[in-house]
């Protein structure tokens, strides 16, 4: 309990940033289909239950804006969404998801995908993520039981360390992103692009 209280004092998705409102809409009753208002220039926006508005400059402010962007008629038309086929769009909606089965563990699936010369895999973590910390990701990888092929080393961008990496014998590479948060490309896009570009071209990080 004390740990959770301490953790609440930081922005968990990127612990070096100021804490901000999450800016995700809570679930609404199924019967509530939302209301419309004019977004200017004859454009309509479906608004049912907008998320709380964080202060301008907070990392979550763009999440707030994405709600209005995704529910705008002009956006839906551009995406080819048929009118009436999709209700209010909500970011990180965690209620009423249409799952029919819940897998308690995906470890066996991941073992099979990369085993015996199978698919290559890249697993990465931002090193400032407290939602799914890189230590937890490493523990999950260890549970797969893959032998380490090449031990820890730094990988670089512009002559500076961009994170650390190690590789496993079953075609799996793990890398950390220096300064990265929970969704690492959101916080460190250049480093993530460099990492992915090298990996997809089968080059050394």
Task: Name the E strands within the chain.
Answer: 35-40, 43-47, 121-126, 148-157, 160-168, 172-177
At 16, is the secondary structure helix, strand, or coil? coil
pLDDT at 92: 75
Please compute the mean of the pLDDT values over residues 37-47 and round it to a whole number. Answer: 51
Least confident of 3-17, 25-39, 88-102, 173-187: 25-39
Rounded to whole angstroms, the maximal C-alpha distance in the chain is 61
pLDDT tens readout for residues 149-193: 999 999 999 999 999 999 998 889 999 999 999 999 999 999 999
pLDDT tens readout for residues 6-19: 888 888 888 888 88
Higher pLDDT, 117 or 185: 185
Q: Phi/psi class of residue 74: alpha, beta or left (left: φ > 0; alpha: ψ in -120 to 50)?
A: alpha
Domains of the chain: 9-102 (no CATH), 107-200 (3.40.50.11320)
pLDDT at 32: 46
29, pLDDT greater than 80: no
Task: Give Cα separations from 8 to 2, 5, 131 (angstroms).
Answer: 10, 5, 11
Alpha-carbon span 99 to 133, nearest angstrom: 26
C-alpha 20, offset from chain centre: 17
33, pLDDT greater than 50: no
pLDDT at 22: 66
């Amino acid at each position: 309990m004390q740990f959770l209280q301490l953790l609440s004092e930081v922005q968990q998705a990127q612990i070096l940033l100021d804490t901000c409102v999450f800016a995700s809409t809570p679930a609404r009753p199924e019967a509530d289909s939302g209301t419309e208002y004019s977004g200017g220039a004859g454009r309509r926006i479906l608004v049912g239950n907008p998320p709380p508005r964080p202060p301008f400059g907070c990392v979550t402010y763009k999440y707030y804006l994405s709600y209005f962007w995704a529910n705008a008629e002009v956006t839906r038309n551009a995406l080819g969404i048929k009118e009436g086929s999709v209700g209010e769009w909500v970011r990180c909606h965690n209620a009423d998801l249409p799952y029919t089965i819940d897998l308690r563990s995906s470890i066996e699936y991941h073992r099979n995908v990369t085993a015996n010369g199978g698919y290559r895999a890249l697993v990465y973590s931002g090193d400032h993520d407290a939602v799914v910390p890189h230590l937890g990701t490493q523990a999950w990888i260890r549970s797969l039981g893959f032998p380490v092929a090449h031990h820890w080393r730094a990988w670089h961008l512009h002559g500076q360390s961009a994170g650390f990496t190690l590789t496993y014998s079953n075609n799996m590479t793990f890398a950390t992103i220096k300064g990265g948060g929970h969704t690492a490309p959101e916080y460190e896009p250049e480093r993530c692009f460099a990492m992915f570009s090298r990996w997809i071209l089968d080059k050394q990080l």
